[in-house]
Chain A
Amino acid sequence: MRSKPDQTTTLTLHVPEPTGRPGQETDFSYLYLAKAGTVRRPEIDVAPADTADLSTTLIRVLDDDGNALGPWAPKISDELLRRGMLAMLKTRVFDTRMVIAQRQKKMSFYMQSLGEEAIGSAHALALQEGDMCFPTYRQQSILMARNVPMVELICQLLSNERDPLKGRQLPVLYSVRKAGFFTISGNLATQFVQAVGWAMASAIKGDSKIASGWIGDGSTAESDFNTALTFAHVYRAPVVLNVVNNQWAISTFQSFAGGESTTFAARGVGSGIASLRVDGNDFLAVYAASQWAAERARSNLGPTLIEWVTYRAGPHSTSDDPSRYRPADDWAHYPLGDPIARIKRHLIKLGIWSEQEHEQTQKQLEAEVIAAQKEAERYGTLANGHIPSDASMFEDVYKEMPPHLREQLRQLQS
């Protein structure tokens, strides 16, 4: 019972808590869900304020039986659907294999994207050549959708002699300019602002390219999140601002980033940015929403914020044990399911995929990853000491090596 104004109230500090802890079951009713096909699709020139309803509901296309429903069902070719499926499967197979390699001490560290494969894959396929993504460490599906050679990626993970980043970066913090994949930083949220700046640059030059910024639910608490929204809104930057709400930031539930009784998409509307909240495990919804936002940006109509509602099915990283802070079977209860299982059902229903083909493709991808790993290991691993030269450590700090670094290099070598 609420106390009357004239009564003395003892203040209490509210500390959010997830409903499910180890040994319990999570109550997912806190998610603002909606049925597939029920949410409206506005024109791309919609006023940001008129997307308020879209920021607190959930755009979904695929129902539980694999049917594509409603106004967001994208017109998408069979070929593109198969490419999407391939990118998602490849991401998952790659992740699984790299976790094994980490356990075998062939690499020092790895981060899976289990359960989030649809978001980067479908988004990347909806963008165009030349658009630049500013990813976090969990959008490897973009690299898979853009067919970056796995050998190159594994060399980075191994910090070996063929590592494109010359052994300077932690595993997973890729940089692949040719694939529109900006250099990943360990510092959270910084790239969200940089994406806006890149988009502003494209606008300054009268270009037609757009930027795509990425951030997780936890990192929205960083100041750079708000900064990015403000600048994107002020300058009407051609950028898609993606918030991947996988419910968890390491051990902290999304309520600690300010997700309790609200949505992350709602933050966009508050900043004057058109905002959508989308089922992140629904490949078709991700593709459709991404395409909508990209077209809006490319038409000079301004930024879009999209909250992708998904679930971090795996551990945060190879250094993390989720069973210490959440139920072990949480993913099995998550209402939006597994993105690969869902698109598979749809493709089979369309008659362009089969259980047999699925199994075959998966086996083939496993063989490809193993072959790529073997090739990459030929160029060395951190464990066997075949790493980039120590001298290369001093390069690229500046464009030209200044005298003090030349001197330090000499000292190292003497």
Chain B
Amino acid sequence: MATSMTMIQALRSAMDIMLERDNNVVIYGQDVGYFGGVFRCTEGLQAKYGKSRVFDAPISEGGIVGTAVGMAAYGLRPVVEIQFADYFYPASDQIVSEAARLRYRSAGEFTASMTIRMPCGGGIYGGQTHSQSPEALFTHVCGLRTVMPSNPYDAKGLLIAAIENDDPVIFLEPKRLYNGPFDGHHDRPVVPWSTHRMSQVPEGYYTVPLESASVFRSGADLTVITYGTMVFVSEAAAHETGIDAEIIDLRSIWPLDLETIVNSVKKTGRCVVVHEATRTSGFGAELASLVQEHCFYHLEAPIERVTGWDTPYPHAQEWAYFPGPDRVGAAFRRAMEA
């Protein structure tokens, strides 16, 4: 049976189901236990499963991830939360040097089957430390999987798949999409998820496989490769420019579904990469490079990148920074004119 859920409810449902199905799943992080999380994603879980399964943690990202690595080595399946992606940096050493490499360096003797949830992304007047999109800092690390959903259905299915996966998964949640889809038109009223088709979420267990992209909107003119909030921004840009863009929601950022990308670009001959993160050495560079390698003889135009500027995320200049539908649409036109 499907119910309309927000992304918050869908994520909570995923954790609820996995706590129920697997006794080795434990959930912890700052304010995650009694209070249910600053974004309500874990509300009610401690009351339902007890304090030894769902609990509050000290304000120590390195400690949260480091203890999770130890728990995973024991055989648990921890799902930990970093309150904002902007605050994962103190845990970098445990993520990069430990979680990502545990299986490799021990030749499989010890593994880190764990999920690190992090609310990410801007568009909420979050300023410098509540808006960042650090996915490229994870995709560069061998041994990690990096995942980002764009809607409640995928959020639940991907999170269940991430928790079940035996590799460490960085699960990035665009907080701008927690309560409803957002197409970049900040001057219009916020739309709740209940009005959107992808808020229909099965109540029970299901998965959305990792390494599978979805064709969010099929089109013939150009291919947009994107993820997270930018899926909806790209959809708005397609609508407003009248350009028949095929929008690919990567869902799994790395390792990714190369086949879906290549098939699409070979069909359209044009490619625009869109992400909120800053441009230089952002994940868009890897995407552009992959498209260039695999689709060179099918390309009719240079690959465009629409991204955040190479600056820290500002507060007052939010909408000049955030790559909205106008900037994305302009890139569509350039790609079509080339």
Interface set of A (CB-CB < 8 Å, partner B): 132, 134, 164-166, 168-169, 173, 175-177, 182-183, 185-187, 190, 193-205, 211, 223-224, 227-228, 230-231, 234, 396-399, 402-404
Contacts and interface: CB of A to CB of B under 8 A. Distances in A.
A186 to B, nearest CB: 8
Contacts of B93: 187, 190, 224
Contacts of A211: 70
B103 to A, nearest CB: 5
Contacts of A173: 105
7 contacts: A165-B107, A183-B102, A190-B97, A197-B71, A224-B94, A396-B107, A399-B103
Chain A to chain B: the 5 pairs with minimum beta-carbon distance, closest first: A197-B70, A197-B67, A193-B66, A194-B70, A201-B74
Given A227-B62, A227-B63, A231-B58, A193 B105 contact: no
A177 B111 CA distance: 11
B78 to A, nearest CB: 8
Given A195-B70, A396-B107, A398-B103, A201 B98 contact: no
A197 B111 CA distance: 14
A198 B70 contact: yes
B242 interface: no
B202 interface: no
Contacts of B63: 193, 227-228, 230-231
B68 A177 contact: no
Interface in B42-81: 52-53, 58, 60, 62-63, 66-71, 73-76
B16 interface: no
A402 B110 contact: no
Contacts of B312: none
A211 B142 CA distance: 28
A201 B71 contact: yes
Contacts of B52: 203-204
Given A204-B76, A223-B62, A230-B58, A397 B107 contact: no
A182 B211 CA distance: 31
Given A183-B110, A399-B103, A197 B255 contact: no
A397 B105 contact: no
Contact of B109 (A175, A227, A402, A404): A175
B205 interface: no
B255 to A, nearest CB: 4
Nearest to B168: A398
Contact of B70 (A168, A193, A399): A193
B71 A224 contact: no
B60 A190 contact: no
Contact of B94 (A169, A190, A396): A190
Contacts of A166: 107
Interface residues of B, number: 42
B70 A200 contact: yes
B143 A397 contact: yes
Most buried by A among B60, B70, B76, B110: B70
A194 B58 contact: no
B317 interface: no
B300 interface: no
A62 to B, nearest CB: 34
Most buried by A among B74, B76, B102, B109: B74
Contacts of A202: 74
B108 interface: yes
Contact of A196 (B67, B94, B97): B67
A197 B66 contact: yes
B314 to A, nearest CB: 29
B66 A224 contact: yes
B104 to A, nearest CB: 5
Contacts of A175: 105-107, 109-110
A185 B62 CA distance: 16
A166 to B, nearest CB: 5
Nearest to B52: A204
Given A190-B97, A201-B74, A231-B67, 15 more contacts: A165-B105, A168-B105, A169-B105, A176-B109, A185-B98, A185-B105, A187-B97, A194-B70, A195-B70, A197-B67, A197-B74, A200-B71, A227-B63, A228-B66, A398-B103
Contact of A396 (B67, B71, B103, B165): B103
Contact of A403 (B90, B94, B102, B258): B258
A267 B70 CA distance: 23
B318 interface: no
B26 interface: yes
B203 interface: no
Contacts of B183: none
B68 A197 contact: yes
B66 A200 contact: no
Contacts of A177: 106, 109-110
A152 to B, nearest CB: 12
A298 to B, nearest CB: 16
B255 A403 contact: yes
A202 B24 CA distance: 11
Nearest to A169: B105
B270 to A, nearest CB: 24
A185 B58 contact: no
Contact of B26 (A196, A204, A228): A204
A165 B106 contact: yes
Name, among A193, A195, A198, A230, the residue most crowded by chain B CB atoms within 10 Å (CB to CB). Answer: A193
Given A187-B93, A231-B63, A398 B76 contact: no
Interface string B97-124: 1100111111111110000000000000
Nearest to B63: A227
Contacts of B246: none
Nearest to A407: B258
Interface centre among A177, A183, A228 (most CB of B within 10 A): A183
Contacts of B53: 204
Contacts of B258: 403-404
Contacts of B102: 183
Nearest to A173: B105
B74 A399 contact: no
Contact of A402 (B101, B111, B255): B255
A404 B145 CA distance: 13
B173 interface: no
B166 interface: yes
A398 B68 contact: no
B31 interface: no
A11 B120 CA distance: 45
A26 to B, nearest CB: 33
A176 B110 CA distance: 10
A182 B107 contact: no
Residue of A185, A190, A199, A203 most packed against chain B (CB within 10 A): A190
A199 B69 CA distance: 11
